[in-house]
A and B are shown apart, each in its own frame.
Chain A
Amino acid sequence: MKIHLPGFLLPRPSLRFIHIWRRNRLVWTKLAIPSMLGNLADPMLYMLGLGYGLGAMLPHVVGMPYIAFLAAGTVCSSTMMSASFESMYSSFSRMHVQHTWDAILNAPVMLDDVVAGEAVWAASKAFLSGAAVLIVATALGLVASPLALWVLPVVFITGLAFAGLGLIMTSLSPSYDFFMYYFTLAITPMMLASGVFFPLSQLPAWLQAAAQALPLTHAVALVRPLMTGSVPQSAGVHVLVLVSYALASCYVALALARRRLLK
Protein backbone atom coordinates (compact mmCIF):
# COMPACT_ATOMS: atom_id res chain seq x y z
CA MET A 1 0.00 0.00 0.00
CA LYS A 2 1.19 3.45 -0.86
CA ILE A 3 1.61 5.67 2.15
CA HIS A 4 0.54 9.09 1.09
CA LEU A 5 0.81 12.16 3.26
CA PRO A 6 1.61 14.94 0.78
CA GLY A 7 0.21 17.53 3.22
CA PHE A 8 3.09 16.98 5.62
CA LEU A 9 5.91 17.21 3.11
CA LEU A 10 8.44 19.76 4.24
CA PRO A 11 7.43 23.33 3.39
CA ARG A 12 9.24 24.82 0.44
CA PRO A 13 8.42 28.50 0.63
CA SER A 14 10.17 30.82 -1.81
CA LEU A 15 10.73 34.55 -2.01
CA ARG A 16 7.55 34.70 -4.08
CA PHE A 17 5.72 35.00 -0.76
CA ILE A 18 6.55 38.69 -1.04
CA HIS A 19 3.92 39.08 -3.80
CA ILE A 20 1.19 37.99 -1.38
CA TRP A 21 2.59 40.24 1.32
CA ARG A 22 2.60 43.18 -1.11
CA ARG A 23 -0.96 42.48 -2.21
CA ASN A 24 -2.15 42.61 1.38
CA ARG A 25 -0.15 45.73 2.07
CA LEU A 26 -1.68 47.45 -0.96
CA VAL A 27 -5.18 46.73 0.38
CA TRP A 28 -4.11 47.87 3.81
CA THR A 29 -2.70 51.20 2.58
CA LYS A 30 -6.18 52.08 1.33
CA LEU A 31 -7.59 51.61 4.82
CA ALA A 32 -4.49 52.29 6.88
CA ILE A 33 -5.83 55.12 9.02
CA PRO A 34 -9.07 53.48 10.23
CA SER A 35 -7.26 50.14 10.47
CA MET A 36 -4.50 51.57 12.68
CA LEU A 37 -7.02 53.44 14.82
CA GLY A 38 -9.02 50.26 15.28
CA ASN A 39 -5.89 48.33 16.17
CA LEU A 40 -4.71 50.94 18.61
CA ALA A 41 -7.83 52.30 20.24
CA ASP A 42 -8.83 49.13 22.04
CA PRO A 43 -5.51 48.25 23.71
CA MET A 44 -4.84 51.92 24.50
CA LEU A 45 -8.17 52.36 26.24
CA TYR A 46 -7.55 49.30 28.38
CA MET A 47 -3.99 50.28 29.10
CA LEU A 48 -4.80 53.86 30.06
CA GLY A 49 -8.09 53.08 31.79
CA LEU A 50 -6.86 50.18 33.85
CA GLY A 51 -3.33 51.47 34.16
CA TYR A 52 -4.20 54.86 35.62
CA GLY A 53 -7.66 54.09 37.04
CA LEU A 54 -6.93 50.77 38.68
CA GLY A 55 -3.25 51.61 39.08
CA ALA A 56 -4.08 54.62 41.29
CA MET A 57 -5.52 52.24 43.87
CA LEU A 58 -2.57 49.87 43.78
CA PRO A 59 0.82 50.03 45.42
CA HIS A 60 3.69 49.29 43.06
CA VAL A 61 3.39 45.98 41.27
CA VAL A 62 6.63 43.98 41.33
CA GLY A 63 8.50 47.20 41.98
CA MET A 64 6.98 49.40 39.29
CA PRO A 65 3.87 51.55 38.82
CA TYR A 66 0.94 49.47 37.57
CA ILE A 67 0.69 51.48 34.34
CA ALA A 68 4.29 50.55 33.46
CA PHE A 69 3.60 46.92 34.34
CA LEU A 70 0.50 46.93 32.18
CA ALA A 71 2.14 48.74 29.26
CA ALA A 72 4.53 45.82 28.73
CA GLY A 73 1.64 43.37 28.89
CA THR A 74 -0.37 45.48 26.45
CA VAL A 75 2.45 45.48 23.88
CA CYS A 76 2.26 41.67 23.90
CA SER A 77 -1.50 41.29 24.04
CA SER A 78 -2.16 43.78 21.26
CA THR A 79 0.46 41.98 19.13
CA MET A 80 -1.35 38.72 19.78
CA MET A 81 -4.77 40.18 19.01
CA SER A 82 -3.66 41.86 15.82
CA ALA A 83 -1.93 38.73 14.49
CA SER A 84 -4.92 36.58 15.44
CA PHE A 85 -7.55 38.77 13.81
CA GLU A 86 -5.56 39.17 10.62
CA SER A 87 -4.67 35.50 10.26
CA MET A 88 -8.20 34.36 10.99
CA TYR A 89 -10.92 36.75 9.86
CA SER A 90 -8.93 38.45 7.10
CA SER A 91 -7.06 35.39 5.82
CA PHE A 92 -10.24 33.34 5.92
CA SER A 93 -11.97 35.96 3.79
CA ARG A 94 -9.19 35.76 1.25
CA MET A 95 -8.99 31.98 1.30
CA HIS A 96 -12.62 30.96 1.51
CA VAL A 97 -14.94 33.85 0.75
CA GLN A 98 -13.19 35.86 -1.97
CA HIS A 99 -11.24 32.91 -3.41
CA THR A 100 -8.21 35.17 -3.61
CA TRP A 101 -5.89 32.27 -2.79
CA ASP A 102 -7.41 30.22 -5.62
CA ALA A 103 -6.70 33.02 -8.06
CA ILE A 104 -3.11 33.32 -6.82
CA LEU A 105 -2.59 29.56 -7.07
CA ASN A 106 -3.32 29.70 -10.80
CA ALA A 107 -0.21 31.85 -11.14
CA PRO A 108 3.28 30.39 -10.65
CA VAL A 109 2.99 30.69 -6.88
CA MET A 110 2.73 27.69 -4.56
CA LEU A 111 0.49 27.31 -1.55
CA ASP A 112 3.66 27.32 0.56
CA ASP A 113 4.31 30.86 -0.68
CA VAL A 114 0.72 31.93 -0.04
CA VAL A 115 0.70 30.65 3.54
CA ALA A 116 4.14 32.15 4.17
CA GLY A 117 2.96 35.47 2.72
CA GLU A 118 -0.16 35.48 4.88
CA ALA A 119 1.81 34.56 8.02
CA VAL A 120 4.47 37.20 7.46
CA TRP A 121 1.81 39.76 6.62
CA ALA A 122 -0.15 39.05 9.82
CA ALA A 123 3.12 39.24 11.75
CA SER A 124 3.87 42.58 10.08
CA LYS A 125 0.50 44.00 11.09
CA ALA A 126 1.01 42.66 14.59
CA PHE A 127 4.42 44.30 14.61
CA LEU A 128 2.80 47.64 13.82
CA SER A 129 0.31 47.19 16.64
CA GLY A 130 2.93 46.19 19.17
CA ALA A 131 5.29 48.94 18.03
CA ALA A 132 2.51 51.53 18.24
CA VAL A 133 1.81 50.62 21.85
CA LEU A 134 5.53 50.76 22.54
CA ILE A 135 5.74 54.26 21.05
CA VAL A 136 2.80 55.49 23.13
CA ALA A 137 4.32 53.92 26.24
CA THR A 138 7.60 55.69 25.46
CA ALA A 139 5.80 58.99 25.04
CA LEU A 140 4.15 58.48 28.43
CA GLY A 141 7.58 57.94 30.00
CA LEU A 142 6.92 54.29 30.74
CA VAL A 143 10.01 52.99 28.97
CA ALA A 144 13.26 52.98 30.90
CA SER A 145 16.07 52.64 28.36
CA PRO A 146 17.00 51.98 24.72
CA LEU A 147 17.07 48.32 25.70
CA ALA A 148 13.38 48.55 24.79
CA LEU A 149 14.36 48.52 21.09
CA TRP A 150 14.86 44.75 21.52
CA VAL A 151 11.12 44.59 22.05
CA LEU A 152 10.64 45.08 18.30
CA PRO A 153 12.08 41.72 17.15
CA VAL A 154 10.29 39.99 20.02
CA VAL A 155 7.03 41.53 18.85
CA PHE A 156 7.61 40.29 15.30
CA ILE A 157 8.34 36.71 16.38
CA THR A 158 5.34 36.79 18.73
CA GLY A 159 3.22 38.02 15.83
CA LEU A 160 4.49 35.19 13.64
CA ALA A 161 3.68 32.61 16.32
CA PHE A 162 0.10 33.85 16.67
CA ALA A 163 -0.23 34.23 12.90
CA GLY A 164 0.69 30.56 12.52
CA LEU A 165 -1.80 29.54 15.20
CA GLY A 166 -4.47 31.69 13.59
CA LEU A 167 -3.78 30.17 10.17
CA ILE A 168 -4.22 26.71 11.69
CA MET A 169 -7.70 27.78 12.76
CA THR A 170 -8.33 29.30 9.33
CA SER A 171 -7.34 26.06 7.59
CA LEU A 172 -9.74 24.12 9.78
CA SER A 173 -12.58 26.57 9.86
CA PRO A 174 -15.89 26.00 8.07
CA SER A 175 -17.06 29.58 8.78
CA TYR A 176 -16.32 32.77 10.68
CA ASP A 177 -18.23 31.51 13.74
CA PHE A 178 -15.56 28.87 14.32
CA PHE A 179 -13.06 31.57 15.38
CA MET A 180 -15.13 32.42 18.44
CA TYR A 181 -14.14 29.07 19.98
CA TYR A 182 -10.49 29.88 19.57
CA PHE A 183 -10.90 33.33 21.07
CA THR A 184 -12.98 32.08 23.99
CA LEU A 185 -11.06 28.89 24.69
CA ALA A 186 -7.50 29.94 23.83
CA ILE A 187 -6.91 33.66 23.45
CA THR A 188 -8.89 34.99 26.43
CA PRO A 189 -7.57 32.44 28.97
CA MET A 190 -4.07 33.00 27.63
CA MET A 191 -4.41 36.73 28.11
CA LEU A 192 -5.32 36.16 31.76
CA ALA A 193 -2.72 33.49 32.47
CA SER A 194 0.37 34.95 30.82
CA GLY A 195 1.18 37.85 33.09
CA VAL A 196 -0.37 40.59 30.97
CA PHE A 197 -2.59 42.14 33.68
CA PHE A 198 -0.99 40.76 36.86
CA PRO A 199 2.15 38.85 37.78
CA LEU A 200 2.18 35.11 37.14
CA SER A 201 3.06 34.62 40.80
CA GLN A 202 -0.56 35.45 41.66
CA LEU A 203 -1.68 32.22 40.00
CA PRO A 204 -1.89 28.83 41.73
CA ALA A 205 1.26 26.77 41.24
CA TRP A 206 -0.27 24.34 38.73
CA LEU A 207 -1.53 27.18 36.58
CA GLN A 208 1.88 28.87 36.71
CA ALA A 209 3.39 25.65 35.42
CA ALA A 210 0.77 25.37 32.67
CA ALA A 211 1.36 28.99 31.69
CA GLN A 212 4.93 28.06 30.76
CA ALA A 213 3.49 26.27 27.75
CA LEU A 214 1.83 29.43 26.43
CA PRO A 215 3.65 31.59 23.89
CA LEU A 216 2.26 34.80 25.34
CA THR A 217 3.91 34.03 28.71
CA HIS A 218 7.30 33.98 27.05
CA ALA A 219 6.62 37.14 25.08
CA VAL A 220 5.69 38.96 28.30
CA ALA A 221 8.72 37.50 30.09
CA LEU A 222 10.94 39.11 27.44
CA VAL A 223 9.14 42.38 26.84
CA ARG A 224 8.55 43.52 30.44
CA PRO A 225 12.17 43.58 31.57
CA LEU A 226 13.26 45.07 28.23
CA MET A 227 10.83 47.94 28.70
CA THR A 228 11.74 48.52 32.32
CA GLY A 229 15.43 48.55 31.63
CA SER A 230 16.82 45.14 32.50
CA VAL A 231 18.04 42.14 30.53
CA PRO A 232 15.45 39.33 30.73
CA GLN A 233 16.37 36.21 32.66
CA SER A 234 16.64 33.02 30.61
CA ALA A 235 16.12 35.09 27.48
CA GLY A 236 17.39 32.22 25.31
CA VAL A 237 14.67 29.89 26.51
CA HIS A 238 11.92 32.43 25.90
CA VAL A 239 13.19 33.21 22.41
CA LEU A 240 13.50 29.50 21.65
CA VAL A 241 9.90 28.84 22.72
CA LEU A 242 8.58 31.73 20.60
CA VAL A 243 10.60 30.72 17.54
CA SER A 244 9.50 27.10 17.95
CA TYR A 245 5.87 28.17 18.17
CA ALA A 246 6.27 30.31 15.07
CA LEU A 247 7.91 27.57 12.97
CA ALA A 248 5.73 24.70 14.20
CA SER A 249 2.46 26.59 13.86
CA CYS A 250 3.26 27.81 10.35
CA TYR A 251 4.22 24.28 9.35
CA VAL A 252 1.01 22.75 10.72
CA ALA A 253 -1.02 25.56 9.15
CA LEU A 254 0.55 24.80 5.77
CA ALA A 255 -0.06 21.07 6.11
CA LEU A 256 -3.72 21.70 6.95
CA ALA A 257 -4.09 24.24 4.16
CA ARG A 258 -2.63 21.72 1.68
CA ARG A 259 -5.08 19.12 2.89
CA ARG A 260 -7.94 21.56 2.47
CA LEU A 261 -7.04 23.23 -0.82
CA LEU A 262 -4.84 20.82 -2.79
CA LYS A 263 -7.08 17.80 -2.58
Chain B
Amino acid sequence: MRHLRVANLRKSYDAMEVVAGLDLEIEAGVCFGLLGPNGAGKTTTLRLCLGLSEPDSGEIAILGFAVPEHAREARARIGVVPQVDNLDPDFSVRENLLVYGSYFGLRQRDIEARIPDLLEFAGLTSREHARIQTLSGGMKRRLTLARALVNDPQLMFLDEPSTGLDPQARHLIWERLRKLTSEGRTIVLTTHFMDEAERLCHRVAIIDHGRKIAEGTPRELITQYIEPQVVEVYGDGAEAWAETYGRSASERCEKTGETFFCYTRDADAIVHALDRESNVRYLHRPANLEDVFLKLTGRELRD
Protein backbone atom coordinates (compact mmCIF):
# COMPACT_ATOMS: atom_id res chain seq x y z
CA MET B 1 0.00 0.00 0.00
CA ARG B 2 1.12 3.52 -0.74
CA HIS B 3 1.16 5.89 2.22
CA LEU B 4 1.99 8.96 0.22
CA ARG B 5 1.39 9.80 -3.38
CA VAL B 6 2.11 13.16 -4.95
CA ALA B 7 1.53 13.75 -8.65
CA ASN B 8 2.65 16.74 -10.69
CA LEU B 9 2.61 19.00 -7.65
CA ARG B 10 3.19 22.70 -8.23
CA LYS B 11 3.40 25.69 -5.94
CA SER B 12 4.62 29.20 -6.69
CA TYR B 13 5.25 32.16 -4.45
CA ASP B 14 5.06 35.33 -6.50
CA ALA B 15 7.05 34.53 -9.61
CA MET B 16 9.11 31.83 -7.92
CA GLU B 17 8.09 28.24 -8.59
CA VAL B 18 9.15 26.48 -5.40
CA VAL B 19 7.62 23.11 -6.21
CA ALA B 20 7.70 22.55 -9.96
CA GLY B 21 5.93 19.37 -10.97
CA LEU B 22 6.97 16.97 -8.24
CA ASP B 23 6.02 13.28 -8.29
CA LEU B 24 6.55 11.04 -5.27
CA GLU B 25 5.29 7.62 -4.26
CA ILE B 26 6.15 6.24 -0.85
CA GLU B 27 5.27 2.72 0.18
CA ALA B 28 4.10 1.80 3.66
CA GLY B 29 6.86 1.01 6.15
CA VAL B 30 9.58 2.77 4.20
CA CYS B 31 11.94 5.38 5.56
CA PHE B 32 12.09 7.84 2.69
CA GLY B 33 14.64 10.65 2.48
CA LEU B 34 13.77 13.89 0.77
CA LEU B 35 17.12 15.47 0.04
CA GLY B 36 17.93 18.79 -1.48
CA PRO B 37 19.90 21.97 -0.93
CA ASN B 38 18.36 24.91 0.93
CA GLY B 39 15.44 26.31 -1.00
CA ALA B 40 14.94 23.11 -3.04
CA GLY B 41 11.30 22.91 -1.94
CA LYS B 42 11.51 20.23 0.76
CA THR B 43 9.72 22.09 3.54
CA THR B 44 7.12 23.49 1.14
CA THR B 45 6.43 19.94 -0.05
CA LEU B 46 5.86 18.79 3.53
CA ARG B 47 3.54 21.76 4.17
CA LEU B 48 1.56 20.91 1.05
CA CYS B 49 1.28 17.28 2.15
CA LEU B 50 -0.07 18.39 5.53
CA GLY B 51 -2.63 20.66 3.89
CA LEU B 52 -1.07 23.77 5.42
CA SER B 53 -0.65 25.31 2.03
CA GLU B 54 -2.78 24.97 -1.06
CA PRO B 55 -1.05 23.68 -4.19
CA ASP B 56 -1.44 25.59 -7.45
CA SER B 57 -2.01 22.27 -9.17
CA GLY B 58 -1.37 18.57 -8.80
CA GLU B 59 -2.65 15.81 -6.57
CA ILE B 60 -1.76 14.72 -3.06
CA ALA B 61 -3.02 11.56 -1.37
CA ILE B 62 -1.85 10.82 2.16
CA LEU B 63 -2.85 7.46 3.67
CA GLY B 64 -5.62 7.39 1.10
CA PHE B 65 -6.97 10.84 1.96
CA ALA B 66 -6.99 13.57 -0.66
CA VAL B 67 -5.18 16.65 0.64
CA PRO B 68 -5.95 19.50 1.22
CA GLU B 69 -9.66 18.51 1.08
CA HIS B 70 -9.29 15.87 3.79
CA ALA B 71 -6.21 17.23 5.51
CA ARG B 72 -7.87 16.91 8.90
CA GLU B 73 -8.40 13.16 8.53
CA ALA B 74 -4.88 12.73 7.18
CA ARG B 75 -3.27 14.75 9.96
CA ALA B 76 -5.03 12.67 12.59
CA ARG B 77 -2.83 9.78 11.43
CA ILE B 78 0.41 11.71 10.88
CA GLY B 79 3.17 12.64 13.33
CA VAL B 80 5.26 15.72 12.59
CA VAL B 81 8.67 16.74 13.86
CA PRO B 82 9.10 20.29 12.60
CA GLN B 83 12.34 22.03 11.77
CA VAL B 84 11.77 24.83 14.26
CA ASP B 85 11.34 23.80 17.88
CA ASN B 86 7.76 24.50 18.90
CA LEU B 87 7.39 22.67 22.19
CA ASP B 88 5.08 24.56 24.48
CA PRO B 89 7.32 26.60 26.81
CA ASP B 90 4.47 27.20 29.24
CA PHE B 91 4.30 23.50 30.11
CA SER B 92 6.37 20.71 31.61
CA VAL B 93 7.50 17.68 29.62
CA ARG B 94 4.47 15.68 30.71
CA GLU B 95 2.04 18.50 30.07
CA ASN B 96 3.44 18.96 26.59
CA LEU B 97 2.47 15.39 25.76
CA LEU B 98 -0.92 15.66 27.44
CA VAL B 99 -1.88 18.92 25.80
CA TYR B 100 -0.60 17.88 22.39
CA GLY B 101 -2.60 14.67 22.61
CA SER B 102 -5.70 16.71 23.36
CA TYR B 103 -5.38 18.44 19.97
CA PHE B 104 -5.96 15.02 18.43
CA GLY B 105 -9.16 14.66 20.40
CA LEU B 106 -7.61 11.88 22.51
CA ARG B 107 -9.03 11.32 25.94
CA GLN B 108 -6.85 12.41 28.84
CA ARG B 109 -6.94 8.89 30.28
CA ASP B 110 -5.70 7.37 27.01
CA ILE B 111 -2.87 9.88 26.71
CA GLU B 112 -1.85 9.34 30.32
CA ALA B 113 -1.63 5.63 29.65
CA ARG B 114 0.77 6.28 26.77
CA ILE B 115 3.00 8.78 28.58
CA PRO B 116 5.34 6.30 30.33
CA ASP B 117 6.16 4.63 26.98
CA LEU B 118 6.61 7.96 25.24
CA LEU B 119 8.90 9.23 27.99
CA GLU B 120 10.94 6.06 27.89
CA PHE B 121 11.23 6.31 24.12
CA ALA B 122 12.49 9.87 24.52
CA GLY B 123 14.81 8.88 27.38
CA LEU B 124 13.11 11.52 29.52
CA THR B 125 11.47 9.39 32.18
CA SER B 126 13.35 11.20 34.95
CA ARG B 127 12.48 14.60 33.48
CA GLU B 128 8.73 14.11 33.40
CA HIS B 129 8.02 17.23 35.41
CA ALA B 130 10.89 19.36 34.12
CA ARG B 131 10.20 22.66 32.44
CA ILE B 132 11.01 22.85 28.74
CA GLN B 133 13.56 25.61 29.24
CA THR B 134 15.71 23.30 31.37
CA LEU B 135 16.09 20.67 28.60
CA SER B 136 19.13 20.43 26.34
CA GLY B 137 18.77 20.66 22.56
CA GLY B 138 18.93 16.88 22.24
CA MET B 139 16.30 16.34 24.91
CA LYS B 140 13.97 18.83 23.23
CA ARG B 141 14.33 17.01 19.91
CA ARG B 142 13.60 13.68 21.55
CA LEU B 143 10.57 15.14 23.27
CA THR B 144 9.38 16.58 19.96
CA LEU B 145 9.77 13.11 18.48
CA ALA B 146 7.84 11.55 21.36
CA ARG B 147 5.17 14.22 21.00
CA ALA B 148 4.79 13.30 17.33
CA LEU B 149 4.02 9.74 18.45
CA VAL B 150 1.23 10.69 20.81
CA ASN B 151 -1.43 9.78 18.24
CA ASP B 152 0.34 6.52 17.27
CA PRO B 153 0.82 7.74 13.67
CA GLN B 154 1.17 5.48 10.63
CA LEU B 155 3.14 8.14 8.79
CA MET B 156 5.71 10.57 10.14
CA PHE B 157 7.16 13.72 8.65
CA LEU B 158 10.52 14.70 10.08
CA ASP B 159 11.93 18.00 8.89
CA GLU B 160 15.68 18.00 9.57
CA PRO B 161 15.34 16.07 12.82
CA SER B 162 19.01 16.16 13.78
CA THR B 163 20.02 19.68 12.77
CA GLY B 164 21.90 21.41 15.55
CA LEU B 165 22.50 18.28 17.64
CA ASP B 166 25.84 17.00 18.90
CA PRO B 167 27.07 13.59 17.61
CA GLN B 168 25.85 11.69 20.67
CA ALA B 169 22.40 13.20 20.38
CA ARG B 170 22.28 12.49 16.64
CA HIS B 171 23.14 8.83 17.15
CA LEU B 172 20.43 8.52 19.74
CA ILE B 173 17.86 10.10 17.39
CA TRP B 174 18.96 7.75 14.60
CA GLU B 175 18.56 4.73 16.84
CA ARG B 176 15.04 5.88 17.72
CA LEU B 177 14.11 6.49 14.09
CA ARG B 178 15.27 2.99 13.15
CA LYS B 179 13.09 1.66 15.92
CA LEU B 180 10.11 3.51 14.47
CA THR B 181 10.62 2.05 11.00
CA SER B 182 11.07 -1.41 12.49
CA GLU B 183 7.63 -0.93 14.05
CA GLY B 184 6.28 -0.53 10.53
CA ARG B 185 5.76 3.21 10.50
CA THR B 186 6.39 5.11 7.31
CA ILE B 187 8.87 7.95 7.71
CA VAL B 188 9.46 10.86 5.38
CA LEU B 189 12.64 12.62 6.37
CA THR B 190 14.18 15.78 5.03
CA THR B 191 17.81 16.36 5.78
CA HIS B 192 20.92 17.78 4.28
CA PHE B 193 23.14 15.42 6.21
CA MET B 194 23.87 12.77 3.62
CA ASP B 195 25.38 10.35 6.13
CA GLU B 196 22.07 10.51 7.99
CA ALA B 197 20.09 9.75 4.84
CA GLU B 198 22.46 6.95 3.85
CA ARG B 199 22.19 5.34 7.26
CA LEU B 200 18.46 5.67 7.82
CA CYS B 201 16.65 5.78 4.50
CA HIS B 202 15.53 2.81 2.46
CA ARG B 203 14.95 5.12 -0.45
CA VAL B 204 15.87 8.70 -1.16
CA ALA B 205 14.80 11.31 -3.68
CA ILE B 206 17.07 14.22 -4.47
CA ILE B 207 15.11 17.32 -5.33
CA ASP B 208 16.35 20.65 -6.59
CA HIS B 209 14.49 23.72 -7.82
CA GLY B 210 11.24 21.98 -6.91
CA ARG B 211 11.87 18.97 -9.16
CA LYS B 212 12.94 15.43 -8.46
CA ILE B 213 16.28 14.84 -10.14
CA ALA B 214 17.04 11.34 -8.86
CA GLU B 215 15.45 8.58 -6.83
CA GLY B 216 16.47 5.16 -5.59
CA THR B 217 18.08 3.35 -2.69
CA PRO B 218 21.23 5.13 -1.48
CA ARG B 219 23.34 2.27 -2.85
CA GLU B 220 21.63 2.40 -6.25
CA LEU B 221 22.25 6.12 -6.55
CA ILE B 222 25.89 5.77 -5.59
CA THR B 223 26.57 3.04 -8.14
CA GLN B 224 24.54 4.79 -10.79
CA TYR B 225 26.12 8.22 -10.53
CA ILE B 226 29.53 7.92 -8.90
CA GLU B 227 32.80 6.08 -9.42
CA PRO B 228 33.29 3.72 -6.48
CA GLN B 229 36.44 5.27 -5.00
CA VAL B 230 37.10 8.81 -3.84
CA VAL B 231 40.37 10.44 -2.84
CA GLU B 232 39.98 13.80 -1.14
CA VAL B 233 43.14 15.87 -1.42
CA TYR B 234 43.84 19.06 0.52
CA GLY B 235 46.72 21.06 1.96
CA ASP B 236 49.10 23.68 0.51
CA GLY B 237 50.33 21.53 -2.35
CA ALA B 238 46.91 20.15 -3.30
CA GLU B 239 46.23 22.55 -6.17
CA ALA B 240 49.60 21.98 -7.83
CA TRP B 241 49.32 18.22 -7.39
CA ALA B 242 45.80 18.15 -8.82
CA GLU B 243 46.68 20.22 -11.87
CA THR B 244 49.86 18.30 -12.69
CA TYR B 245 48.75 14.79 -11.84
CA GLY B 246 45.42 14.36 -10.07
CA ARG B 247 43.10 15.48 -12.87
CA SER B 248 44.64 13.18 -15.42
CA ALA B 249 44.94 10.21 -13.07
CA SER B 250 41.28 10.17 -12.02
CA GLU B 251 38.09 9.78 -14.04
CA ARG B 252 36.76 12.99 -12.59
CA CYS B 253 38.31 15.60 -10.30
CA GLU B 254 36.21 18.31 -8.67
CA LYS B 255 37.09 21.17 -6.37
CA THR B 256 34.92 22.19 -3.43
CA GLY B 257 36.33 24.91 -1.24
CA GLU B 258 40.02 24.03 -1.11
CA THR B 259 39.57 20.27 -1.35
CA PHE B 260 39.97 18.28 -4.56
CA PHE B 261 37.74 15.25 -4.92
CA CYS B 262 39.24 12.65 -7.26
CA TYR B 263 36.71 10.05 -8.37
CA THR B 264 38.07 6.82 -9.76
CA ARG B 265 37.47 3.12 -10.23
CA ASP B 266 40.88 2.21 -8.87
CA ALA B 267 42.58 4.56 -6.46
CA ASP B 268 45.85 2.61 -5.99
CA ALA B 269 47.93 4.71 -8.37
CA ILE B 270 46.64 7.98 -6.95
CA VAL B 271 47.25 6.91 -3.39
CA HIS B 272 50.78 5.78 -4.25
CA ALA B 273 51.48 9.10 -5.89
CA LEU B 274 50.09 11.00 -2.92
CA ASP B 275 52.23 9.04 -0.48
CA ARG B 276 55.29 10.51 -2.17
CA GLU B 277 54.04 14.10 -1.77
CA SER B 278 55.07 15.98 1.37
CA ASN B 279 52.84 19.02 1.05
CA VAL B 280 49.41 17.43 0.73
CA ARG B 281 47.11 15.41 2.93
CA TYR B 282 44.51 13.02 1.63
CA LEU B 283 41.61 10.79 2.56
CA HIS B 284 40.82 7.68 0.58
CA ARG B 285 37.27 6.43 1.01
CA PRO B 286 34.42 4.70 -0.81
CA ALA B 287 31.94 6.95 -2.63
CA ASN B 288 28.92 8.00 -0.63
CA LEU B 289 25.59 9.75 -1.00
CA GLU B 290 27.12 13.16 -0.45
CA ASP B 291 29.18 12.68 -3.62
CA VAL B 292 25.98 11.94 -5.52
CA PHE B 293 24.28 14.94 -3.97
CA LEU B 294 27.11 17.30 -4.89
CA LYS B 295 27.35 15.92 -8.38
CA LEU B 296 23.63 16.33 -9.04
CA THR B 297 22.94 19.61 -7.27
CA GLY B 298 26.23 21.34 -8.02
CA ARG B 299 29.02 22.54 -5.79
CA GLU B 300 28.28 26.23 -5.59
CA LEU B 301 26.93 27.72 -2.37
CA ARG B 302 23.12 27.88 -1.92
CA ASP B 303 21.59 30.55 0.22
Contacts and interface: CB of A to CB of B under 8 A. Distances in A.
Nearest to A104: B103
- Greatest chain A CB density within 10 A among B53, B87, B95, B103 is at B103
A19 B73 CA distance: 17
Contacts, number: 65
B186 to A, nearest CB: 16
A30 B89 CA distance: 13
B95 A106 contact: no
Contacts of B86: 98-100, 102-103
B54 A262 contact: yes
A100 B87 CA distance: 7
Contacts of A103: 82, 86-88, 100
A104 B85 CA distance: 13
Contacts of B151: 107
A108 B80 contact: no
A142 B54 CA distance: 55
A108 B102 CA distance: 10
Interface stretch (A20-28, A156-164, A170-178): A20-28
B32 to A, nearest CB: 18
A98 B89 contact: yes
A107 B84 contact: no
A38 interface: no
Contacts of A27: 90-91
B84 A6 contact: no
B105 interface: yes
B50 A106 contact: yes
A254 B175 CA distance: 41
A26 B108 CA distance: 14
A90 to B, nearest CB: 10
B267 interface: no
Interface in B79-119: 80, 82, 84-91, 95, 99-100, 102-105
Q: In terms of DSSP, what is the predominant structure of the interface of chain A?
A: helix
Given A262-B53, A263-B13, A107 B100 contact: yes
Contacts of A109: 72, 103
Contacts of A243: none
A108 B52 CA distance: 11
Nearest to A105: B52
A22 B102 contact: yes
Q: In terms of DSSP, what is the predominant structure of the interface of chain B?
A: loop
B53 A108 contact: no
B240 interface: no
A110 interface: yes
Given A107-B103, A262-B52, A26 B95 contact: yes
Contacts of B95: 26
B80 A106 contact: yes
B13 A19 contact: no
A27 B131 CA distance: 13
A103 B84 CA distance: 10
A103 B105 CA distance: 15
Contacts of B85: 99
A16 B103 CA distance: 8
A113 to B, nearest CB: 9
Nearest to A22: B102
Contacts of B211: none
B102 A6 contact: no
B99 A108 contact: no
A116 to B, nearest CB: 14
A105 B71 CA distance: 10
B76 interface: yes
Interface string A89-104: 0000000001110111
A51 B23 CA distance: 70
Given A98-B89, A263-B13, A19 B103 contact: yes
Given A22-B102, A108-B75, A100 B54 contact: no
A110 B105 CA distance: 13
Contacts of A262: 52-54
Nearest to B102: A19
Nearest to A97: B89
Interface in A100-148: 100, 102-110
- Greatest chain B CB density within 10 A among A22, A27, A106, A262 is at A106
Contacts of A106: 50, 75, 78, 80, 82
Nearest to A103: B86
A108 B76 contact: yes
B31 to A, nearest CB: 19
B72 A108 contact: yes
Given A26-B95, A26-B99, A98-B86, A107 B52 contact: no
Interface of A: 6, 16, 19, 22-23, 26-27, 30, 98-100, 102-110, 261-263
Nearest 10 CB-CB pairs, A to B?
A107-B103, A99-B86, A106-B80, A108-B76, A103-B86, A27-B90, A108-B75, A108-B72, A19-B102, A19-B103
6 contacts: A19-B103, A98-B86, A106-B75, A107-B104, A108-B75, A110-B72
